[in-house]
C-alpha cells in the first residue's frame, strides 16, 4: 500500500487498530437478522460486519416472550426480541444474588424480575414490561448453541415516535457499515507511533515506581537499623550497675 492512499481490498485489521474504527465503541444499530449474520474471526474473539469490529449492538423490537432459565435456580430471565427482520434474538437478563438467593434486581439498571409460581414479571422502573411491548436493548453479544444473544446493559421502553427514530437509525447505520472500513498507511503509522509512545510512557512510569519503592524500602531499612542500634545502647545503659542475674525473673516454684 502506498502512503496517503486507502487500501482497495477488504482487510481485517489487527486489534490494536480497533480504537480507530467508527463501530468499536459505538452502539451499532442493527436488526436481529443483522446480528445473527455477524461473523467471528478466528483468534480475535470479536464480531465483524465486513471488516467492521463490533462489540456493542442496539436492537429495537417487540418483546414476544418472557421466560425464566438457568435451571432450578432460575438465574436468568430471557426476553425474545422480534423486530420483524426474519430472525429472533434472545436477551439474557441476569438476576443478582444476595445470601445465596436470587433477588428481583438484575444486572441491568432499573430492570427487575418478580417471580410468582415460577412465572416471571418484568418491570422497567415502575412500568411492567409485557409481551408485545416495543423495547430497545443495548449490550455486548455472546454465542449460545450457535446463536447470538445480547447481554443487556441498557433496556428502554419505546413509544411510537421512538420506534420510528430507531428504525431510521438502523437505516443510517447500515449505510455506514455496508462500506468497508479503511485505514491509510499514514493512519496506521500514526496509531503505531502513539501506541509505542504510550508503551514507553507506561514502562518509564513502572521503572520510576519500582525505584521509588526501592528508595522507600532502603529508608525503612535504615530506620530499622537505627532503632535496633538505639535499643542495644539503651539496654547496655539500663543494665549498668545491675546485680548479676537481676534480669531473670524466677517463677515462685523456682525460688
- Residue 172's nearest CA partner among 7, 40, 8, 58 is 58
d(CA 115, CA 121): 6
> pLDDT tens digits, residue range 200-240?
888 888 888 888 888 888 889 888 888 888 888 877 777 77
Q: Which three cell numbers stand for residue 255?
A: 525460688
Q: What is the DSSP letter of 242?
A: P
CA 28 to chain centre: 17
Q: Dump the DSSP string for 172-228.
A: HHHHHHTS----BHHHHHHHHHHHHHHHHHHHHHHHHHHHHHHHHHHHHHHHHHHHH
Answer yes or no: pTM beyond 0.95. no
Q: Which of helix, strand or coil describes residue 136?
A: strand
- Residue 150's nearest CA partner among 21, 22, 61, 18 is 61
Q: Label the pairing between strands 57-69 and 52-54.
A: unpaired
Torsion angles phi and psi, residue 105, rounded to 5: -70, 145
> pLDDT tens digits, residue range 168-206?
999 999 999 999 999 999 999 999 999 898 888 888 888
d(CA 57, CA 168): 15
Mean pLDDT of 61-68: 93
CATH code reported for the domain at 15-181: 2.40.50.140
Could you identify the residue written with the cell 434486581?
Answer: 105
pLDDT band at 2 (very low <50, low <70, confident <90, very high): very low
Domain ranges (residues) in the chain: 15-181, 187-236
Residue 34 host element (H or E): helix 32-37
Amino acid at each position: 500500500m502506498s502512503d496517503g492512499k486507502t487500501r482497495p481490498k477488504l482487510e481485517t485489521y489487527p486489534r490494536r487498530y480497533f480504537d480507530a474504527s467508527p463501530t468499536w465503541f459505538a452502539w451499532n444499530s442493527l436488526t436481529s437478522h443483522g446480528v445473527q449474520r455477524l461473523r467471528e474471526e478466528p483468534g480475535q474473539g470479536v464480531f465483524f460486519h465486513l471488516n467492521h469490529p463490533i462489540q456493542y449492538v442496539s436492537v429495537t423490537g417487540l418483546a414476544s416472550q418472557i421466560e425464566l432459565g438457568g435451571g432450578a435456580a432460575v438465574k436468568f430471565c430471557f426476553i425474545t426480541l422480534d423486530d420483524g427482520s426474519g430472525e429472533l434474538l434472545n436477551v439474557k437478563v441476569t438476576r443478582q444474588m444476595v445470601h445465596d438467593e436470587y433477588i428481583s434486581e438484575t444486572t441491568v439498571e432499573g430492570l427487575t424480575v418478580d417471580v410468582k409460581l415460577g412465572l416471571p414479571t418484568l418491570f422497567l422502573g415502575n412500568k411492567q414490561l409485557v409481551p408485545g411491548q416495543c423495547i430497545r436493548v443495548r449490550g455486548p453479544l455472546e454465542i449460545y448453541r450457535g446463536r447470538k444473544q445480547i447481554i443487556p446493559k441498557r433496556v428502554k421502553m419505546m413509544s411510537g415516535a421512538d420506534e420510528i427514530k430507531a428504525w431510521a437509525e438502523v437505516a443510517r447505520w447500515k449505510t455506514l457499515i455496508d462500506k468497508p472500513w479503511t485505514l491509510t498507511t499514514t493512519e496506521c503509522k500514526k496509531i503505531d507511533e502513539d501506541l509505542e509512545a504510550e508503551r514507553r510512557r507506561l514502562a518509564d512510569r513502572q521503572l520510576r515506581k519500582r525505584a521509588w519503592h526501592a528508595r522507600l524500602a532502603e529508608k525503612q531499612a535504615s530506620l530499622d537499623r537505627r532503632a535496633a542500634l538505639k535499643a542495644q545502647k539503651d539496654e547496655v545503659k539500663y543494665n549498668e550497675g545491675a546485680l548479676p542475674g537481676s534480669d531473670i525473673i524466677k517463677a515462685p516454684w523456682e525460688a
